[in-house]
Amino acid sequence: MRLARPQFQMTGPPRRYFEEIEVGETYESPGRTVTETDIVLFAGVSGDYNVIHTDAEFMKTSIFGERIAHGLLGLSIQSGLLTRWMTPYASLGVAGLRWKFKNPIKIGDTIRVRAEVTGKKETSADQGVVTLARTVVNQRDEVVQEGETDVIVERRRE
C-alpha cells in the first residue's frame, strides 16, 4: 500500500515556484546599518569572540583601526535583506554556497545586496536549483562580499 503524500496549505505572503523564476532577473535590496549590537549578539550566538570583533582598544592599532563585523554576520544579513525585497521563492533549502569576503564591514556601515538569477536546473519532478549571483556593497558602493548561492526551489504541482 502506498501512502499519499500530505498536502500542506501555505499561508502568508505569496511564494514563487521554480517555473516562475527567470534567468536574468535582478534584485537590489534596501540598506541595513550594521551595529555594535549586531556584532555582540552574533559573537554570542556563534561563540566567535575573536578580538577583531570584540576588543575595541586592541583593534585601534590594527590595519582596520576599529572592530569589524564577522564575515558570516555579513553573509547572514545579506540573505535576510534579499528576502525583504523580492517575492520569496518556494525555497526548500540551500544546496551550495561559493563566497568571497572582499573588504571588512565596520560598525555603522550600511550594506545592501544586488542579486541576479544566473542559472536554473531541474533536479526532480518536485524541485529545481536556482543559482543567484550576489554582491554585497556598503554605503560607498564598495564590494564587501560576493558569491553565488544555489537555492533548492519547489516546483509547482499541477
SS3 string, 106-143, reads: ECCCEEEEEEEEEEEEECCCCEEEEEEEEEEECCCCCE
Q: What tens digit of pLDDT does each residue of 78-123 get? A: 999 988 878 889 999 999 999 999 999 999 999 999 999 999 999 9
> What is the model's pLDDT at position 63?
96
More confident residue, 151 or 84: 151
Closest CA to 106 of 79, 134, 144, 158: 144
Q: What tens digit of pLDDT does each residue of 44-58 get? A: 999 999 999 999 999
> What is the model's pLDDT at position 85?
78
Share above pLDDT 90 across residues of the chain, in percent, rounded to a whole number: 84
**Averaged pLDDT of the chain:** 92
Q: In the chain, where are the structural domains located? A: 18-154
Asked: is 18-154 a CATH 3.10.129.10 domain? The reply is: yes
Share above pLDDT 70 across residues of the chain, in percent, rounded to a whole number: 91
Contact 149, 97 (CB under 8 A): yes
How does strand 143-154 pair with strand 26-28?
unpaired
